Amino acid sequence: MKNLYHEKYLILPQNYLAEEILLGTIFIYPEIFYQIISSIKEEYFFLESHKLIYTYLLIINKKSKFNITEYIYTLGNTNILYKVGGIQKILDLMKQSQIFIISFYNITTYIQELVEIIQYNYIKRLMIQYGNDIIKLAYIAKLSNHYLYNKASSYLNITETKIPRINTKTFKKLITEFLLKTKYTHSTKFINKTKINNNKFHKSGFLQLDKLIFGLFEGDLIVIAGRPSMGKTSLAINIANNIVYNQKSAICIFSLEMSSQQIINKFISINSNLALKKLILKNIYTKDWNKIIKICYKLINKKIYINDKANVSIDYIEYTSKLLKKENKILKLIIIDYLQLIQTNFSSTINRTQELSYITRKLKLLAQYLHTSIVILSQLNRSIENRHNKTPVLSDLKDSGCLNISNNINIINNEYNKVSIKSLIQKSYKVVKINKFKNKNNKTEYKNEYIFILIEYLFESRIKENYFISNTYNHKYLFNYIWTKNYLVCENLPIITSHEKYWRKYKLAKYYIKKIKFKQYSKCYDLNIQDYFNFISKQIIVHNSIEQDADIVLILYQRELNKNNKDLINITLCKNRNGPIGALKLLFYPETTKFTNSDIDLLNE
């Protein structure tokens, strides 16, 4: 078997001759380059010299129109010409292409065939590479089967995206394009302008909540958080019940804490208005029994899946969800109860905070992959109990990006001063932030009332001798106008800094990080500016908001009684990528665990 493997599979699938003909043809007929540039990437070539040649073709094309003289001159200046074989290699490629191309008139068809050959062999090599990776993973004893399946699936999905898709059009689309081309001379531009965003969403069934979030969008990760016994699970089940009944969609519940029977009891209690206690104790009268039978007949026809396996890993959840989606295409909602009980395969190598960050990232990617809304329940930390103001913030949910307490920030106080954060605790302040990233960057102010103190591990990023900033691992810098988390920043990476030019105007400059090191376990502060995404600390533009993978964060935090002595649950919408943040109140019936709309108007912030 071993000899057969070496004899048959030693040489990787490739066609270097097709690569030579394609590159030589590009040098002679540069106009064909623009036809294939979207179909061929540098990694598609087998030989390293061919990869380098094509890479520099792409670089030259970005700068200006392709010219063979400029191309050779550029390769010579960068010493790449020597690596690919000198000018003689370029000439050989051009000669090779002329041998096989008989006529210019059929060149388009011929080039397309060459492209298909190169793509075909590249996909074969990719399959071999990923197959070998899967075999190596299978030999690792500690890896679970779920993780192995998910990894193998991800490799196949990557390969699938590389395979060219046949451009099949419906007759309806062809007729539409024909009419548009007949009436409009620039039909492509017209079509692009008339595109409509058709994001699918599902109503939660609660009017006040839907006014704020506009429903649960496919691909969104929604966090429902609260202290124990606040009704997190009941609210999630009520939302699931409304979606199943009103929109005829399938749902799946991963219950890591409650049994499937307990969840069924909640569904029956919510729909029948019978006390949950009666169902648990089986204290049911004939009249109630008839009502239960009717509800059960309705629930039987609903697509509701419950997985009550305890101590499951994120890989198991991902694996099960993907299989379920294949079996049931109308799966539109997944509920997980709850975040802190989910395990990973490397819990011994990282702390729990990093582990939860990894889990939420995986869940967000899963929601996007399945085109399904995922609701994850989460606990709050105890810091909310120690505060005078009990209104929850994002930092109550999980660790947020924070700055060292010794850092100064730019505030507005008669004059533009840099003031230590220690002097601002429990005081109102106005923070300097950059308004627009253009040549003229306005410095504006924002008034805030609260600063929260935490104890976290801090990392120091130094860009000059006495020019550094200390913050937590997940706070963000501005790197090439893209927000980048601290743990993704490396040495010699440029970050954007700010320098005041004149009154209320800022100039942006690029500096390189010289050194990054762990500093200490120390006090730090959570500065939250709700309407903006940046502020200035030590002339470095840093990200303001606590960035999480969640699209929506709902926090249940307080019970109160209305005029009719009914329970009202206060809910704060702390984060909302689909609309404004705010607050709302829902009526809660503890006997049946049912939530309903209240008569309280929406409290806008």
Mean pLDDT value across residues 39-57: 87
The predicted-structure confidence for 365-381, as pLDDT tens digits, reads as follows 888 888 888 999 888 77
User: Quick one: pLDDT at residue 356?
Assistant: 75
- Band of pLDDT at residue 495, cut at 50, 70 and 90: low
Task: Give the best-scoring range by mean pLDDT among 32-41, 56-65, 250-259, 277-286.
Answer: 250-259
Positions of E strands within 272-316: 304-307
User: Quick one: pLDDT at residue 560?
Assistant: 74
Taken in order of first residue, the domains within the chain and their CATH numbers are 2-162 (1.10.860.10), 204-382 (3.40.50.300), 399-543 (2.170.16.10), 552-604 (no CATH)
Write phi, then psi, for 186 (nearest 5 degrees).
-110, 70
User: Quick one: pLDDT at residue 289?
Assistant: 82
Lowest pLDDT segment from 263-272, 374-383, 523-532: 523-532
Mean pLDDT value across residues 64-69: 75
Residue 40 · residue 32 · CB < 8 Å: no
Q: Which two tokens stand for residue 466?
A: 């006495």
Percent share of the chain, pLDDT over 90: 0
Lowest pLDDT segment from 20-29, 213-222, 389-398, 559-568: 389-398
Q: Which residues contact 477 (CB under 8 A, 6 or more apart)?
A: 461, 483, 484, 486, 489, 495, 496, 540, 541, 542, 543
Q: Using only the alpha carbons of the chain, give its radius of gyration.
A: 30
**pLDDT, averaged across the chain:** 71
User: Quick one: pLDDT at residue 601?
Assistant: 45
Task: Give the best-scoring range by mean pLDDT among 73-82, 130-139, 398-407.
Answer: 130-139
- Band of pLDDT at residue 159, cut at 50, 70 and 90: confident
Amino acid 243 reads I
Q: What's the CA gap between 253 and 335, in Å, rounded?
A: 5
On the CB side of 198, CA atoms within 13 Å amount to 3
The predicted-structure confidence for 394-425, as pLDDT tens digits, reads as follows 666 654 444 444 444 444 443 344 445 555 54
Q: Is 546 or 235 the better-scoring residue by pLDDT?
A: 235
Looking up tokens 């691909």 gives 219
Percent share of the chain, pLDDT over 70: 60
Lowest pLDDT segment from 170-174, 360-364, 507-511: 170-174
User: Quick one: pLDDT at residue 317?
Assistant: 87
Lowest pLDDT segment from 54-63, 81-90, 378-387: 378-387
User: Quick one: pLDDT at residue 188?
Assistant: 40
State the helix-helix crossing angle for 107-138 and 145-162, rounded to 10 degrees.
Answer: 170
3-state helix, strand, coil in the chain (%, to 5): 45, 25, 30
Task: Give the best-scoring range by mean pLDDT among 56-60, 168-172, 509-513.
Answer: 56-60
Q: What's the CA gap between 318 and 27, in Å, rounded?
A: 48
- Band of pLDDT at residue 433, cut at 50, 70 and 90: very low
Q: What's the CA gap between 482 and 502, in Å, rounded?
A: 26
User: Quick one: pLDDT at residue 70?
Assistant: 79
Lowest pLDDT segment from 18-32, 175-189, 351-365: 175-189
- Band of pLDDT at residue 293, cut at 50, 70 and 90: confident
Q: What's the CA gap between 334 and 374, in Å, rounded?
A: 5
- Band of pLDDT at residue 250, cut at 50, 70 and 90: confident
Would you say residue 432 has pLDDT above 80?
A: no
Would you say residue 445 has pLDDT above 70?
A: no
- 351, 386, 396, 526 from 383: Cα distances, Å: 20, 5, 7, 13
- Band of pLDDT at residue 516, cut at 50, 70 and 90: low
Q: What's the CA gap between 398 and 352, in Å, rounded?
A: 11
Residue 177 · residue 187 · CB < 8 Å: yes
| Largest CA-CA distance found in the chain, in angstroms, rounded | 95
User: Quick one: pLDDT at residue 177?
Assistant: 52
pTM of the shown model: 0.56
